[in-house]
Amino acid sequence: MSLDKATVAKIARLARIKVPDEDLDALAGELSRILDWIEQLNEVDTRDVPPMTHVAAMKLKWRQDEVTGAPPRDDLIANAPEERDGFFCVPKVLE
């Protein structure tokens, strides 16, 4: 499978990764080769295998509905670029 330059640019934008125009061709090539590599899986006959989202021989662990607490607010927001009145503070985003 081969990705074109425009698709790579779109993926980068959706992931909020800034990719200079001149790097797009090389990236398209690399990503296409990764997809080709994964596509080898299509050669396996899976007719009798139900669709799955994982291969681990485990079951999902459940927790009880118990409050185990929350960290002190100062710890929580210690890494925030900016904090005001106990809120995380970011540049204005408004619809």
Partner 1 sequence: MTLIQGRTGEWECVIGLEIHAQVISKAKLFSGAPTDFGAEPNTQVSFVDAAMPGMLPVINGFCVEQAVRTGLGLGAEINLVSVFDRKNYFYPDLPQGYQISQFPRPIVGKGSITLDLEGGETRTVGITRLHLEQDAGKSLHDRDPGATYIDLNRSGVALMEIVSEPDMRSAAEAGAYIRKLRSILRYLGTCDGNMEEGSLRADVNVSVRRPGEELGTRCEIKNVNSVRFVQQAIEYEASRQIDIIEDGGEIAQETRLFDPSRGETRAMRTKEESHDYRYFPDPDLLPLELDADWVAGIKASLPELPEAKKARFMADFDLNAYDAGVLVAERETAEYFEAVAEGRDAKACANWVTGDLFAALNKAGLGITDAPVTASSLGALIDLIDDGTISRRIAKEVFETMWRTGNDAAAIVAEKGLEQISDTAAIEAEIDTIIAANPGQVAEFKGGNEKVIGWFVGQVMKATGGKANPKTVNEILRKKLAD
Q: Which residues bind partner 1 (CB under 8 A)?
A: 10, 13-14, 16, 53-54, 56, 58-71, 73, 76-77, 82, 84-95
Half-sphere exposure in the Cβ direction for 37 (13 Å, CA): 6
Query: CB under 8 Å to 67, separation ≥6 — which residues?
Result: none
DSSP codes, 31-47: HHHHHHHHHGGGGS--T
- Rounded least distance, CB 2 to partner 1, Å: 19
Half-sphere exposure in the Cβ direction for 51 (13 Å, CA): 0
Nearer Cβ to partner 1 (44/55) = 55
Nearer Cβ to partner 1 (48/66) = 66
Half-sphere exposure in the Cβ direction for 83 (13 Å, CA): 10
- Rounded least distance, CB 17 to partner 1, Å: 11
Nearer Cβ to partner 1 (44/60) = 60
- Rounded least distance, CB 74 to partner 1, Å: 10
- Rounded least distance, CB 61 to partner 1, Å: 6
